[in-house]
Structure 1
Amino acid sequence: MHGLLRHLERVGFDGAPRVLGIDDRGREILSWVAGETPHRPMPGYAVTDDALEGVARLVRRYHDAVSTYEPPADAPWDSEASNLDGPPELIGHCDVTPENVVFRGGMPVALIDFDLARPTTRLYDVVTTLRHWAPIADPADRDGLLYGADVGRRMRLFCDAYGLDRDARREVLPAARVRFDRSYKAMRSRAERLGGGWARIWHGGAGPRIRRAQDWLERHWDELDARLD
């Protein structure tokens, strides 16, 4: 992770913390990113079209900045993490949830919490971000301000702001389908193997939420597909 963050600093990406070193107790020291993260229930500033498009542009800037990073061959990436098929293109953030995006003045300015970063594809990071920000979720599991959201429209806004071309847009829904299934299995495995926070998340209903999101995606597939065309 430190190599990744140092690379982002070298190439001038200002949307991530800086590595400042290790203290005498072996703890990492990162720079403080000023601003606020939108915890749930989501505040109004975080659900606007401008915020959504800002997140898309931030993720795109991150992808462009990280695309030239060459991690060590023996880097210990999470081998149980969910991914799409095919060779990785870059080191994705893979966890662009609202809690991991720093806002200032109502607009997203930085990503934090790179613990789940790993080799993946741009599309996987896009789909994972859309899972939380569109959101691709059953209405029962959305924040109140997004309960009745036009998810297809929000997905299109995100893809436009990111600059996803038409061919890649055709892969968003199939990728989301694969991502849900593999994420369910990966989270269950982490909960059983690692316990702790992963077990709390799992036993707090993560599995059923993923399954409800899968069902919602299938029921609304044609509608979403039409918006992305």
Structure 2
Amino acid sequence: MRHRRSVRDAGGVIEEIPLVGGNVSAGVVRVGDTVRRPAGPWTPAVHALLTHLREVGFRAAPRPLGLDDKGREVLEFVPGATVWPDRFAEVEPHARLGRVGRMIREFHDAVAGFVPPADATWRVAIPPEDDGGGEIVAHHDLAPWNLVTSGDTWSFIDWDGAGPGSRLWDLAYAVKAFVPLTADLARRRPDAAARVRVLADAYGLDEEQRRRLTPMLARRARAMYDLLAAGHARGTQPWARLWDEGHGASWRRDTAYIEQNEQAWLTALLT
């Protein structure tokens, strides 16, 4: 979660305020009504994506504002706070969970007409599987920690990992995160299957897509475990650190839980 506080000191001078809580990007700060973060080879493509979303009317993403004099990317500051970990009640009711599913569908429909720059470079941590790979430019991390809400205004942030993907691959990750599908007994949901159905209905999946999504839920979770395991083995950050913090074991347990309950997800989706 990005923790935000006032950006003016007692004398009214605008400061650079660190926005902490992300697992991947360091050096993210707020300056006035903007966010500054380290740019990379992927930044021009991501800004082209965000510009396209604005042009076609999708407002649930920050507006790109170019680079500053330090070479950092500049984005519109999105007011509010992330849903995870302290405000999950925002998406607890099924009606509000359904809003998440509709937002994801609106994004996927909006990005369908996007033509990436010819020299686009992307930073996709987990390449999509062959099922629809490259169908759209996906977010790849649609989750409560990247959903900022302020009253009735909801936006997805942290688009740096966007890149070629598929609708279902993107949605599978969101389902895992927003239900959430977890083996942790303290967080395991007795209504998990019903929440899977809420997201699928809100997104507007047809029967064939529901049948494809069901086994993909475990494959998407396993892909995250594989990323962390590979990062641990190679010493690649931040994955090695996250592995040491126990995230790998958590994703392994979650993958097993999702696989073991595959029939429950399918039954909920089709009845």
**Same-fold call, TM cutoff 0.5:** yes
Shift of 1:117: 0.9
Structure with bigger gyration radius = 2
Give 1:35's match in structure 2, choosing from 80, 87, 95: 80
Shift of 1:12: 1.5
Shift of 1:6: 1.0
* In 2: Cα distance, 1:10 partner to 1:45 partner: 28
Classify the secondary structure of the residue corresponding to 2:126.
Answer: coil
Kindly provide the CA deviation profile for residues 119-144 of structure 1, in whole angstroms up to 9, marking residues without a partner as x.
011000110000101112213373xx
Kindly provide the CA deviation profile for residues 141-177 of structure 1, in whole angstroms up to 9, marking residues without a partner as x.
73xxxx3341110000111011111110011121122
Structure 1: runs of 5+ lacking an equivalent: none
Classify the secondary structure of the residue corresponding to 1:83.
Answer: coil
> Which residue identity lines up with residue 191 of structure 2 in the other structure?
D
Give 2:196's match in structure 1, choosing from 155, 170, 182: 155
- With structure 2 as the length reference, what TM-score do the two structures score? 0.76
- C-alpha distance 141-215 of structure 1, shift in aligned 2 (>3 A): farther
* In 2: Cα distance, 1:51 partner to 1:41 partner: 16
Classify the secondary structure of the residue corresponding to 1:102.
Answer: strand
Shift of 1:225: 1.3
Number of the residue aligned with 1:197:
238
Give 2:109's match in structure 1, choosing from 64, 78, 82: 64
> Which residue identity lines up with residue 96 of structure 1 in the other structure?
L
**Overall identity of the aligned pairs, in %:** 35
Q: How many corresponding residue pairs?
A: 224
Kindly provide the CA deviation profile for residues 179-201 of structure 1, in whole angstroms up to 9, marking residues without a partner as x.
22222222333455573433222
Q: Is contact 2:125–2:161 with CA below 8 Å preserved after alignment?
A: no
- With structure 1 as the length reference, what TM-score do the two structures score? 0.89
Give 2:178's match in structure 1, choosing from 108, 125, 133: 133
Q: Which has the higher contact order (CA 8 A, sep 6+)?
A: 1
Shift of 1:79: 6.1
Number of the residue aligned with 1:118:
163
Structure 1 runs (4+) greater than 6 angstroms displaced:
none
Classify the secondary structure of the residue corresponding to 1:140.
Answer: coil
| Residues 1:109 and 2:154 aligned together | yes
> Which residue identity lines up with residue 171 of structure 1 in the other structure?
R
More helix by share: 1
* In 2: Cα distance, 1:24 partner to 1:176 partner: 43
Number of the residue aligned with 1:97:
143
- C-alpha distance 80-117 of structure 1, shift in aligned 2 (>3 A): closer
Structure 2: runs of 5+ lacking an equivalent: 1-45
